[in-house]
A and B are shown apart, each in its own frame.
Chain A
Amino acid sequence: DGGITQSPKYLFRKEGQNVTLSCEQNLNHDAMYWYRQDPGQGLRLIYYSQIVNDFQKGDIAEGYSVSREKKESFPLTVTSAQKNPTAFYLCASSMTGTDTQYFGPGTRLTVL
């Protein structure tokens, strides 16, 4: 069953802690993306990666980091430098050369 999986579904962390969100896809897509969704603001791009071992900052990359060591995986780390990390995080992927993105179910992060 092809698709994008994100784990965990809900995540709680204390202030000052780093936390890593998982994103895996078995669609054989080259490109992967991380978005943050806040009420009334739509989706904002954090990082994206077109190929393995390469990634670029999106519009709101400060306080976040990513890696792309495997085609299937694009984990996002929310660092303690992120001032307002409580949000819903969505991962997406797409085939090279196309704009149509497919989304995972999301991870809701709450900082206590």
Chain B
Amino acid sequence: AQSVSQHNHHVILSEAASLELGCNYSYGGTVNLFWYVQYPGQHLQLLLKYFSGDPLVKGIKGFEAEFIKSKFSFNLRKPSVQWSDTAEYFCAVSAPGGYNKLIFGAGTRLAVHP
């Protein structure tokens, strides 16, 4: 069965620090990869996604993620975080032919201090 592992459950950073959140998945075939974000009191929303092509994907609000097939990883990065990035971040994976089902990681709660 597919699974998604997010290495950090809680991350605390100061503003302007760089961010990298780890995500690994277990599935040997072609996958689609997603990062979703849940800001306090708001809907879960799509941050970025990878389906094919350039493994470096750029999303909203300055976030990017790199797909490394050999490592089964899809880490999320941002060069300089802001207080407004405080949120919970979820990595998700789906496999073509899987009826568009998403498998989510446990989430990483990010707190950015001014």
CB <8 Å contact, A105 and B104: no
Q: Is the CB of B43 within 8 A of A50?
A: no
Q: Is the interface of B mostly helix, strand, loop or mixed?
A: strand
Q: How large is the interface on A (under 10, 10 to 19, 20 to 34, 35 or more residues)?
A: 20 to 34
Which one of B94, B102, B106 has the greatest number of beta carbons of chain A within 10 Å?
Answer: B102
The interface residues of chain B lying within 8 Å CB-to-CB of A50 are 99-100
> Which residue on chain B has the smallest CB distance to residue A39?
B107
Q: Are B100 and A40 in contact (CB under 8 A)?
A: no
B45 on interface, CB distance cutoff 8 Å = yes
Tier of interface size on chain B: 20 to 34
- The answer for the CA separation of A50 and B98 in the assembled complex, in Å, is 11
Q: Evaluate contact between B90 and A103: CB separation under 8 angstroms.
A: no
Indicate whether B52 reaches chain A with its CB closer than 8 angstroms: no
Interface mask (A84-109 → B, CB under 8 Å = 1, otherwise 0): 00000010101001111111111000
Does B101 sit within 8 A of A, measured CB to CB?
Answer: yes
Residues of A within 8 Å of B107, CB to CB, are 40, 42
Contact with A along B27-52 (1 / 0, CB 8 A): 00000101010000011111001010
Interface of A is mostly: strand
Provide the A3-43 mask, 1 if CB < 8 A to any CB of B, else 0.
Answer: 00000000000000000000000000001010100001111
| Contacts known (A56-B99, A100-B49); A43 close to B104, Cβ less than 8 A | yes
Interface residues of A (CB under 8 A from B): 31, 33, 35, 40-45, 48, 50, 56, 58, 90, 92, 94, 97-106
Identify the B interface with A (CB < 8 A): 4, 6, 9, 32, 34, 36, 42-46, 49, 51, 90, 92, 94, 99-102, 104-107
